[in-house]
Structure 1
């Protein structure tokens, strides 16, 4: 496969999308209100991508996303991400963000400090907002000081950080948004 491709897949919160190229995953799209809107967003972001069956690396990513969105632990350590075209500063932010364990969060300030750039809080927030690898690079675990959960990146669809943290067992129901009430988290599926 020479160009970019994408697929749509089912999760506990709706139909998500994922796009990839020869060097790995280029983006994840969480569900919009309707599947057609999720597809439209993928087309806007990756107009050259064609729908096809996922490559093995992509299947691993999909399995992890599905598990995480069911409230289970997911391991994305073997998933190749295509960081071509992503600013080096953003890559460094994503590397730190990938190491935030499930059930924990960091603030933009804490990430800036770990980068040795404590004055770069706004740049960290902008990098998180540009994250094309939502869930794989768990930007929902990066909050403003005080634990405020702001909206997701462009790839977050209608899903809020608060909702993703709630699925992981980290969020507080006392601070739900209207979307969290209208789109309640599906209960985890029991296996077996």
Structure 2
């Protein structure tokens, strides 16, 4: 597709990437461990995009993302996203996620209930995991039922939800321990 481009920019957590097209932002990439890996991920996701200077509207989005990643409170609600090819359900999930205030979280189940799709918790989790618009669509604010904040989508690079929530000053979240991950084991039987 003609008209797609990307730019790499500095933030408080490393060098991020943003890609756009004629209809708006098509993706945001949080930093990988190395900048070359961030660039590689952008190329894999948007092979037709070419690196160039961001136009004014994308530049404003970049400044806002950088501000948020410094702990500021920039508003990204007016950033235009190109939802071409994104399923309607995912678009609804992303619209709801964009309405979650900075520093607050919701669970997958709460999002599903809000969308009047209470049986769609797994679908909400899948949509969040496929979010191409990191930070603009703050998927890090949507957590598992136990408020675990370790997972993030592939576009999250090396950054965890916990770290993003910490930057925002969100309430502490639980993290899974080895015991949460392992299946329960029956206690040993006493010797008679």
- TM-score normalized by structure 2? 0.88
Contact 1:23 1:81 in 2 (8 A): yes
Residue in 2 that maps onto 1:66? 66
Question: Which consecutive unaligned segments of at least 5 residues does structure 1 have?
Answer: 178-192
Contact 1:162 1:176 in 2 (8 A): no
Look up the SS of the partner of 1:7 in the other structure: strand
Shift in CA distance, 176/109, structure 1 to aligned 2, threshold 3 Å: closer
Look up the SS of the partner of 1:16 in the other structure: strand
Moved over 6 A (4+): none
Indicate yes or no: 2:101 matched with 1:88: no
Report the aligned-residue RMSD: 1.7
Matches within 5 A, 1:11-90: 11-90=11-90
Indicate yes or no: 2:119 matched with 1:119: yes
Question: Which consecutive unaligned segments of at least 5 residues does structure 2 have?
Answer: 178-192
CA deviations over 1:125-154 (Å, ceiling 9, x no partner): 000000000100000000011211131101
CA displacement at 1:176 relative to structure 2: 9.2
Contact 2:26 2:81 in 1 (8 A): yes
Contact 1:32 1:158 in 2 (8 A): yes
Contact 1:151 1:161 in 2 (8 A): yes
How many residue pairs match? The answer is 177
Contact 1:5 1:49 in 2 (8 A): yes
CA displacement at 1:68 relative to structure 2: 0.5
Structure having the higher Rg: 2
